[in-house]
Amino acid sequence: MSGNVHLRREGPVAHVTFDRPEARNAMTWAMYEQLASICGRIGADSAIRVATFRGTGGSFVAGTDIQQFTEFRTGDDGVEYERRMERFLTSLDRLPCPTLAVVDGWCVGGGLAIAACCDLRIATPAASFGVPIARTLGNCLSMSSYARLVAEFGIGRVKRMILGGTLLSAAEAREAGFVTEIVEAGSIDDRTAEWVVRLTRNAPITMRVSKEAIRRVIASGVLEGDDLIRDCYGSADFHEGVSAFLAKRKPAWSGR
């Protein structure tokens, strides 16, 4: 499967791009590994003051490539997957510099998890946000991802996105506080540049300490959940969801 995550350095600013437009930038294992490597490089470079994250081709990230789930056999495969995902997401979540997600189009599943690890998000009116797994794959998230989403959106909206399989518009995400502002597509590059300038001028230690303090507050509420993950990924419904998604048909849920 093709796809890459690119890093471009522009003075004190790191620009990270998800580049798999033919699949709405759905992430492969290789792309997640590239993201973690890039975050490692950014985190080790004290000269980088801001990092931006965006997708190509009119989408941010449309989740994880579903083809990668076809090799799952047991619930333990799901536990290992979520632990692996959390390692990738933590590499972004713990960056010491402020991070800005520039969202256009699809920001769902793993894409929403990536955006939730960023500090600020600006979006075009065409952006949509959600985790429609209850009507697509029949899987679940890691406990840390649930905690981040609840902290950003609130319990009610997270239940609506996950239980209802609902995608939120850019306006709804802004109302929740997840999106900082909505900018027309033709102006988003200029607005991104303005945010970058603002962030590079602010006190780096204050921002670093505040980021880490907020991360610790969210992490303090994370509980053990491997049993829940094992139940989901070990179910017949999960395997049916993957098969149905790849066959482009509606899944027939059995509750088993």
pLDDT tens for 154-176 read 999 999 999 999 999 999 999 99
Q: Degrees (nearest 5) of the Cα angle 196, 199, 205?
A: 145
CA distances from 149 to 15, 19, 33, 222 (A): 24, 25, 23, 12
Whether pLDDT at 253 is above 70:
yes
| CA gap 119, 225 in Å, rounded | 25
pLDDT tens for 49-74 read 999 999 999 999 999 999 888 989 99
Taking the model in full, what pTM does it have? 0.95
Choose among 85, 98, 3: nearest CA to 42: 98
Would you say 122 and 180 are in contact if contact means Cβ atoms under 8 Å apart? yes
- For 77, the 3-state DSSP assignment is helix
Confidence band for 1, pLDDT divided at 50, 70 and 90: low
CATH homologous superfamily of 4-186 equals 2-enoyl-CoA Hydratase; Chain A, domain 1 (3.90.226.10)
Domain ranges of the chain: 4-186
pLDDT tens for 3-28 read 999 999 999 999 999 999 999 999 99
Q: What is the mean pLDDT of the chain?
A: 96
| CA gap 174, 111 in Å, rounded | 17
Whether pLDDT at 113 is above 70:
yes
- For 202, the 3-state DSSP assignment is coil
